[in-house]
Amino acid sequence: MTENKEKNNSNDFSAKIANALEGVFESVALTRKQHFIENPTKRPTRQDIDSITKSYSNQNALIAGAANFIPGPWGMLATVPELAAIIRNQIQMIYDLGVAHGKEAHLNKNLLLGIFSTVLGGGAIGLVSVKGSQLLVKKASLRVIQKIIIWLGGNISQKLLKRFIAKWLPIAGAAAMAIWARQSTISMGEKASQMLAMDIVTSEEEVSEGDIPS
């Protein structure tokens, strides 16, 4: 009974994360593009790469720390909105790093989703792949993208379940979650920057549904 309840809770949490991710990659691509059109002086360059990662990692540390300052069940209520804000920041960071690397012409939802999912361990999906000094970006149908989003929801929930115990610890829990949010964002920024430094090539090949892990 307890095992089934935990499984149901995990599935429910995964579904909520997937729902929060729906449309966010396209939204970030559109809003950041518009942001830099309206604010050309804020367009980052290669010299800003380290500061981009540092800025977003600090923002996410503040989000996680504030959301987890209240321990226990009340703190748990903030989990999905907290994660949604942190993930959106990470996706924006990837976009900004792409601009800094001079790859703005390639920054669409597929590239953002591909890099984000690959960094989280979804290399087998094949939406993006490294071929020598090139980053190959495949096409994906709406159905395939939806399946990737569902996979991301499950993947993210599995990575975070063991950290939820921190939400029940006063003060120390907030600090622990803030450190996690900062370090995970730094790690993502470093890996994304390495990928974005490569020559980006768009392939006519499409990712198939069978490529998405169940």
Number of domains in the chain: 1
Q: How do strand 128-131 and strand 134-139 relate by DSSP bridges?
A: antiparallel
- Of 17, 213, 36, which Cα lies nearest the Cα of 126? 213
Q: Alpha-carbon distance 28 to 24, whole Å?
A: 6
pLDDT at 122: 66
What pairs with residue 136 in β-bridges? 129, 201
Give residue 160's domain range: 2-211
- Spatial contact of 2 and 68, defined as CB atoms under 8 Å apart: no
Going residue by residue through the chain, which has 214 residues, state the pLDDT in tens, using 9 for 90 and above.
444 444 544 577 788 888 888 889 999 999 999 999 999 999 999 999 999 999 999 999 988 877 554 444 434 445 678 888 999 999 999 999 999 999 999 999 999 999 999 998 866 678 898 888 899 999 998 888 999 999 888 888 777 665 554 454 454 456 777 888 899 999 999 999 999 999 999 988 888 877 777 6
Q: Alpha-carbon distance 23 to 170, whole Å?
A: 34
Predicted TM-score (pTM) of the model is 0.86
DSSP 62-105: HHHHHHTSS-THHHHTTHHHHHHHHHHHHHHHHHHHHHHTT-GG
